[in-house]
Structure formats: C-alpha cells, structure tokens
Amino acid sequence: MFSLKSSRRRTVRIAALGTLAAVACTTLMAGSAGAIVNGSDATERYPFMVTIPESAPKYGLFDGNCGASLIERQWVLTAAHCVTGEGLELEGVVRVGSDRRKTGGTVREIDRIFVHPGYVNGEGKAANKDDMALIRLDRPVAQQPVRIAEKAGRPGTPTRLLGFGSTVDGELAFPDRLQELDTRLGAVSECAPGYADATRLCTISTKPKAMACHGDSGGPQIRKGRDGRWELVGVTSGPGAPNVPCSEGPGLYSSAPAYAQWIRKTMRSNSVDAPVKDPRAVMR
C-alpha cells in the first residue's frame, strides 16, 4: 500500500563532504553502476527492494534515486555514498516492495541514518571504502525482508542485480519498471588491480554489454540459498575498473556477509527503544 503522510514529508539535507565529481558518484553511483544497462523487467516480485528518492539541485539533478534492501521490518541497508555527499538531498522517505519507481509499495519516513564509521569516499580503486549505511524507518513495514547470506560465495556463483538505475550508458534514463540482471561473482583478478577484496565483490554480467549503472547504487545483489529463497550478498557500490562505461563492467559490490557483524550490532544498539550512544555515527 501507499502510506505517505504529506504533512510529515520532509527533505533530509546532508552536509558537504566532497567535490562535484564526488557528487556525481554519490548521487547516481560511484562511477559505473546506477540503473541497469541492458537488464530486463523484473520477472518476479521482490518485496525487499527499496527505492530512496534523492536529488542534487545544485548540480542539476532533480529526479535521482538509489536502491536499498529491507533486511528487517524497520531497517534498510544501502550504500554510504547514497546518503552522504556535497549538495545531496534525500526526500526523507523510502519506498519498499514496489516494482515501480514512483508508485506502489509502502512508503515510510527515514528516522535515522547510520553510516559505517570506516566509510571513505574517493576515486578509482580507493573509492567508497566501507560503503555501507543503515536506515531506520519511522515504522515497521509488512513486506518480507531479505536475509543476509552467511557467505558471499565462490567465484562463479550465480547472482542477480536489481535496480531502477539508468538503462543507457552516459545518460540519466531511469526506468519506471524495476530491472534485473543475472550476473556471477568474479575472481578478484577479474576487476582492476586494487579494486576488489574480501569486502568488495567483483561482479561480472552473464549478458554482453550489461551491468548496473547510475542510480542503482545501494541496491541488492542477491543469490539463491539452499532453500531456494533469495539471500543478500552485495550492495551496489561502484565500478570494478577505471574509465569504463556501465555496460562494459565489471561492477563492485560491498559484501553484505563481510559487514554482517556491524549491521547486527548497529541495529541491536539502535533499536527504537535504545538510546543512540554515538551521535557522530548518526545523520538526520
């Protein structure tokens, strides 16, 4: 259902942290993975898919978005660069469980945002270290969350990307329908030297000329678990090589299993009834 109270709708303004180049990466995706180029309309329902409306009017972006994943009824996991950056404005709400970018699903207000304390923005292989952030919603939703996989998997493991990012290289052509793309986990060596590691997954498309793009940032990379249910393995973070268009790939994804301890500790310490112990880790 659609449940947005217009009287409480607000804009969350984020403090300046970077340059125009950083904003382009922050608002759309760190380099090359935003909306999915050469993906296809979603073939099934993904109740855990989340959209975060955002803009950067100072730089001419009035209708952007990032992706995210519902991991508990009141918690959403996304990329840190989606919620912090110079000139970036969040609309103050998220949309949960819709296959449409601007309609359907359940809309909730952002209550608090927790950015990983090790997050560092940047460019090239140093870009977006610890690129993780948690969003606490003002109220729980009815949609079924996605569970975090125990391990990301070995190279060759089949995965799937979801997003409302750009469908055209070099343009901001956001689709109305949710896009998906079948991919696989790559070896560290399949990304440029220094890009992938134990916390950043190199990801390869199984379809030629296809990969996540601007606007897909923060969105889920999923795989099927042993019981056939989708599990979260990655969070869209950026390109896996320098100076390549989205469609050329590879993509770089923050490993959700690698950050599971931080995720669980942050949610446990900052439940609705728990006091916030370190206000420096919180952005409102």
Tokens of 187: 């070896």
Are the CB atoms for 82 and 29 separated by under 8 Å? no
Is residue 145 over pLDDT 60? Answer: yes
- In angstroms, how far apart are the furthest CA atoms of the chain? 51
Mean pLDDT of the chain: 84
Residue 216, pLDDT above cutoff 90? yes
Share of the chain above pLDDT 90, in %: 65
CA distance 155 to 105: 34
pTM of the model: 0.85
Q: What is the pLDDT of residue 173?
A: 80
Percent of the chain with pLDDT over 70: 82
Q: What is the pLDDT of residue 241?
A: 94
pLDDT score at 124: 67
Token pair recorded at residue 282? 């919180």
273: confidence class by pLDDT, cuts 50, 70, 90: low
Write the CA distances from 140 to 73, 106, 137, integer angstroms. 5, 10, 7
The answer to whether the CB of 56 falls within 8 A of the CB of 215 is: no
The phi, psi pair for 188, rounded to 5°, reads -55, -35
Domains of the chain: 41-269 (2.40.10.10)
Check whether 17 has a pLDDT greater than 50. no
- In sequence order, which residues have a C-beta less than 8 Å from that of residue 220 and are 6 or more positions away? 46, 48, 49, 67, 68, 69, 146, 161, 162, 232, 234, 235, 236
β-bridge partners, 56: 61
Q: Of 7, 267, 13, whose CA–CA distance to 140 is shortest?
A: 267
Any residues with CB less than 8 A from the CB of 174 and at least 6 apart, and which?
A: 35, 63, 64, 65, 101, 164, 165, 166, 167, 215
pLDDT of 162 > 90? The answer is yes
How high is the pLDDT of residue 18?
A: 28
| Distance from C-alpha of 186 to C-alpha of 7, rounded to nearest angstrom | 47
User: To which residue do tokens 């560290």 refer?
Assistant: 188
Would you say residue 260 has pLDDT above 70? yes
Token digits of residue 163: 């997003």
Best CA proximity match to 38, nearest among 178, 208, 163: 208
Give the mean model confidence (pLDDT) for residues 262-280: 74
